[in-house]
């Protein structure tokens, strides 16, 4: 009888202690930060966008509190979705990883740029620099102005040695003096706009020639982070690359302290 009473008392104490521990744990735990709502716009030719949409969204969300919606479509369907009124309103940032080089509708492209000039942050990756401007008429094209660079071509496929040229910038903290991608396709930059700040430059010929390959851009009221690096899945999967993109997302959305 005494042993049963002791067992009952012990069980009651254990439950009470567990409940107390749970309450204390809840009270002392930090509340999770508000999730960044991001839209990934992706699709087009020449790249494995089907795999990259998962590499990017899963890799960035593993590093920061980011919730995603994805538009994965061809040029025609993407244009229809990005022509809808208020398509970007509910998102904190729009991430472009696409290759839509054949667009000729200047009014459509200008409408995208206006959204970011009004304050919507943007991330632009690789072939986004070869999209929405090759067949658009006019000397001052709004898409390259939004991006912060103008790129007309790329070099041969080769690993890119990326040099950190702005170590004090919050996006580049933690990035080494130099880092070489597993594979690469270095874009030539004919113009880096005055509104852009270069963070890294890349070379594929041991430093004989360089091209800007990571930067941030102030476009109207909006912040933009861009990189021409990211052709191959092998590069996108690298922790260093995903760290860099994540810090870019945090910076453009005002969640990375200067």
C-beta separation of 106 from 139 below 8 A: no
Rounded Cα distance, 158 and 15, in Å: 62
pLDDT computed for residue 224 by the predictor? 98
pLDDT tier for residue 258 given thresholds of 50, 70 and 90: low
Nearest to 224 by CA among 149, 157, 137: 149
Partners of 26 in the β-ladder: none
- Does the structure show a pLDDT above 60 at 162? yes
- Does the structure show a pLDDT above 70 at 25? no
How would DSSP label each residue in 76-133?
Answer: HHHHHHTTSTTTTTT-SEEEEEEE------HHHHHHHHHHHHTT--EEEEGGGGGSSS
Task: Please give the domain boundaries of the chain with CATH numbers for all domains.
Answer: 36-252 (3.40.50.880)
Q: Is the pTM of this model over 0.95?
A: no
Rounded Cα distance, 56 and 109, in Å: 24
Q: C-alpha dihedral over 189, 193, 196, 198, to 10 degrees? A: 30
State pLDDT tens for residues 167-214: 999 999 999 999 999 999 999 999 999 999 999 999 999 999 999 999
pLDDT computed for residue 77 by the predictor? 97
Mean pLDDT, residues 96-120 taken together: 94
- H and E: helices and strands count for the chain: 7, 13
Rounded Cα distance, 163 and 175, in Å: 9
- Does the structure show a pLDDT above 70 at 12? no
State both tokens at 206. 């041991």
State pLDDT tens for residues 60-88: 999 999 999 999 999 999 999 999 999 99
pLDDT computed for residue 139 by the predictor? 65
pLDDT tier for residue 153 given thresholds of 50, 70 and 90: confident
State pLDDT tens for residues 35-55: 999 999 999 988 999 999 999
pLDDT computed for residue 6 by the predictor? 37
Sign, CA torsion 55/126/143/101: negative
pLDDT computed for residue 141 by the predictor? 85
State pLDDT tens for residues 211-242: 999 999 999 999 999 999 999 999 999 999 99
Using a 10 angstrom Cβ sphere, with 0-12 exposed, 13-18 middle and 19 or more buried, the burial of residue 136 is middle
Average model confidence (pLDDT) across the chain: 87
pLDDT tier for residue 152 given thresholds of 50, 70 and 90: confident
**Largest pairwise CA distance in the chain:** 95
pLDDT computed for residue 4 by the predictor? 41
Rounded Cα distance, 131 and 231, in Å: 14
pLDDT tier for residue 16 given thresholds of 50, 70 and 90: very low
């Amino acid at each position: 009888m005494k042993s049963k009473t002791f067992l009952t008392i012990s069980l009651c104490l254990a439950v009470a202690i567990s409940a107390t521990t749970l309450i204390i744990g809840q009270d002392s735990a930090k509340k999770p930060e508000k999730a960044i709502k991001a839209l990934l716009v992706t699709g087009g030719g020449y790249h494995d966008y089907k795999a990259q949409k998962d590499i990017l969204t899963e890799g960035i969300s593993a590093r920061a509190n980011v919730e995603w919606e994805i538009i994965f479509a061809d040029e025609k369907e993407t244009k229809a979705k990005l022509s809808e009124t208020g398509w970007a309103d509910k998102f904190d940032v729009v991430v472009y990883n696409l290759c839509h080089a054949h667009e000729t509708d200047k009014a459509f492209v200008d409408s995208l740029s206006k959204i970011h000039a009004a304050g919507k942050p943007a991330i632009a990756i690789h072939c986004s620099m070869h999209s929405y401007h090759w067949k658009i008429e006019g000397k001052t094209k709004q898409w390259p102005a939004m991006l912060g660079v103008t790129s007309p071509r790329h070099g041969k496929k080769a690993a890119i040695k990326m040099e950190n040229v702005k170590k004090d910038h919050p996006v580049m903290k933690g990035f080494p003096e130099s880092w070489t991608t597993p594979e690469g396709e270095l874009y030539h930059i004919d113009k880096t706009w005055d509104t852009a700040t270069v963070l890294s430059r890349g070379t594929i010929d041991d430093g004989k020639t360089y091209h800007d390959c990571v930067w941030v851009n102030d476009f109207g009221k909006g912040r933009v982070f861009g990189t021409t690096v990211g052709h191959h899945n092998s590069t996108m999967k690298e922790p260093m690359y995903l760290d860099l993109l994540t810090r870019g997302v945090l910076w453009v959305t005002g969640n990375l302290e200067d």
